[in-house]
Amino acid sequence: MLPDAINAFEEIKEFPLLQRVKLSFPRPQVTDIHSAVFQTIDALALPKANLKNKKVAITAGSRGISDIPAILASLVDYFHENEAFPFIVPSMGSHGGGTAGGQLNMLAKLGITEDKINAPILSSLETVELGQLPNGMPVYIDKLAAESDAIVVVNRVKPHTDFIGEIESGLAKMVSIGLGKLDGADTLHRYGVHGLHDLMPQAAQFICEHAPVLFGLAIVENAYHEIA
């Protein structure tokens, strides 16, 4: 039996038995990223004819998501096949030092470059204010994304590390904080946990209603950090 207490100054004469335990998690895994992305978008039944010659902004965040270069490249392929003009918008709030160059460098460290994605990466900290929430909080979005014909939001969906809520870390956070750039991130974070828990979903909904958001691609990883 384990003793109630151990005096650190006394020699432990008998140590309790230990047993090695191995925990195995379910391991669903997507092996063909390109096909999975195409099938997921096709399930939306988008009117493909409407995509021709459209400028499509695709978000790219600062998190190390498994296979994210391949996922973004597959999205770019989809829009190229439908004669659209996709481009990548660094969408990471204040990360990358809160500078356009810093955010480009952060994407490059994740393997997200124009050569690998086959699309331009347009990095700017300039935003536009779309309006205000009922509490008076301004809602911002990247200017280039706001001026595009369509926005595709890409992010991993997972629990947030700071709070528990119906909406935590995923597409809504990417829309409101990532696309909001430095202005959006600073504004929401000024409200602390309340800003993330309550105002972040409201800001995301507001942006979806007032900006050309086409759809979101939610990414889920298994326990081994593989695309599931």
State CA 104 to chain mean position distance. Answer: 16
Residues, the chain:
228
For the cut 60, the answer to whether the pLDDT of residue 1 exceeds it is no
Backbone angles phi, psi at 9, to 5 degrees: -95, 0
DSSP 221: B
Measuring CA to CA, how many Å separate 193 from each of 41, 137, 200, 205? 33, 15, 10, 18
Supply the CATH number for residue 127's domain.
3.40.50.11440
pLDDT at residue 192, as a whole number:
85
Which one-letter amino acid corresponds to residue 190?
R
Q: What mean pLDDT is reported for the chain?
A: 92
Asked whether residue 66 is domain-assigned, the answer is: yes
pLDDT above 90 coverage of the chain, percent: 78
Q: Is residue 227 part of a domain?
A: no
**Domain of residue 76, residue span:** 33-219
Q: How many domains, the chain? A: 1
Residue 12 predicted with pLDDT over 80: no
| Band of residue 8 on the pLDDT scale cut at 50, 70, 90 | low
pLDDT at 162 over 80: no
- pTM, to two decimals: 0.88
- Structure confidence at residue 142 as a pLDDT band (50, 70, 90): very high
Does residue 214 lie in a domain region?
Answer: yes
State mean pLDDT over 193-197: 77
195, 34 in Cβ contact below 8 A?
no
Report if residue 27 sits inside a domain.
no
Q: Per the domain annotation, does 18 fall within a domain?
A: no
Asked if residue 120 belongs to a domain, the reply is yes
Q: Which residue has the higher pLDDT, 1 or 4?
A: 4
The full 3-state SS of the chain, as one line of letters, equals CCCCCCCCCCCCCCCCCCCCCCCCCCCCCCCCHHHHHHHHHHCCCCCHHHHCCCEEEEEECCCCCCCHHHHHHHHHHHHHHCCCEEEEEECCCCCHHHCHHHHHHHHHHCCCCHHHHCCCECCCCCEEEEEECCCCCEEEEEHHHHCCCEEEEEEECECCCCCCCCCCECHHHHHHHHCCHHHHHHHHHCCHHHHHHHHHHHHHHHHHHHCCEEEEEEECECCCCCEC
In-domain check, residue 122: yes
**pLDDT for the residue 96:** 92
Mean pLDDT score, 76-101: 96
Q: Is the pLDDT of residue 84 over 80?
A: yes
Q: Residue 80: is its pLDDT beyond 80?
A: yes
175 — pLDDT class (breaks 50, 70, 90): very high
Residue 22 domain flag: no
Confidence of residue 7 (pLDDT cuts 50, 70, 90): low
Q: Cα(96)–Cα(90) distance, rounded to whole angstroms?
A: 10
